[in-house]
Amino acid sequence: MFDHFEQRIKSYRSYLFWGLSGAVAPDTDVLYNILLDPKQTNHHNYFTHYFSFWGPLLLFSLFLLLISKKSNQYPVFFLLFSFGGFFHLMLDMVSGYIFIPAPFLYLPFGAYLEKNHHDREYCIEASIVIWALYLLIRDKKIRDYNPER
């Protein structure tokens, strides 16, 4: 499989774009939750946070990658997008919980199953953002460093 992937590498910027878009895609439901959902239900109840949605999407994208021509980049984009979405759900289980068998059964799975512990969720997510900002600033300093100036 890696051979299929490695031979297609053309643009890391495009791969980064599609992978990150997929990683953010499940949380676009927050907009619907805030603006349109009168019940204000937990946004993890929406299909955008179902493994039964992202799992088959990931398998289908993998299938398309395997049967498509090696010069075609779209299956790579699709695989990265669906992997990003799938991985998002796995990370959501670290900071909170996901209803893995949804829409068939709304049984929560995750590190923090108790309710009213959103402060821990936010602490974990904030620490990820702070770590990313640290890496961004550190890498910018490395990129900007020029000893000949």
Instruction: Please count the residues of the chain.
Output: 149
| Nearest residue (CB) to Zn ion, 49 versus 79 | 49
Decide: is 65 part of the binding site for Zn ion (CB under 5 A).
Answer: no
> Helix, strand, coil % (nearest 5) of the chain?
70, 5, 30
| Residue 117 beta carbon to Zn ion: minimum distance, rounded to whole angstroms | 16
Q: Which of 92, 95, 97, 98 binds Zn ion (CB under 5 A)?
A: 92
Decide: is 27 part of the binding site for Zn ion (CB under 5 A).
Answer: yes
Residue 26: name the closest of 72, 92, 73 by CA.
Answer: 92
Residue 2 host element (H or E): helix 2-6
Residues of this chain, 112-141, that bind Zn ion according to CB under 5 A: none
Q: Give the Cα separation of 45 and 40 in Å (integer).
A: 11
Specify the stretch interacting with Zn ion by CB under 5 A; choose among 20-28, 54-62, 125-133, 136-144.
Answer: 20-28
| Nearest residue (CB) to Zn ion, 75 versus 95 | 95
Q: How far is CA 22 from CA 7, 28, 41, 55, 109, in A?
A: 22, 10, 23, 13, 22
Specify the stretch interacting with Zn ion by CB under 5 A; choose among 25-33, 55-63, 111-119, 138-146.
Answer: 25-33
The contact set with Zn ion (CB under 5 A) reads 26-27, 92
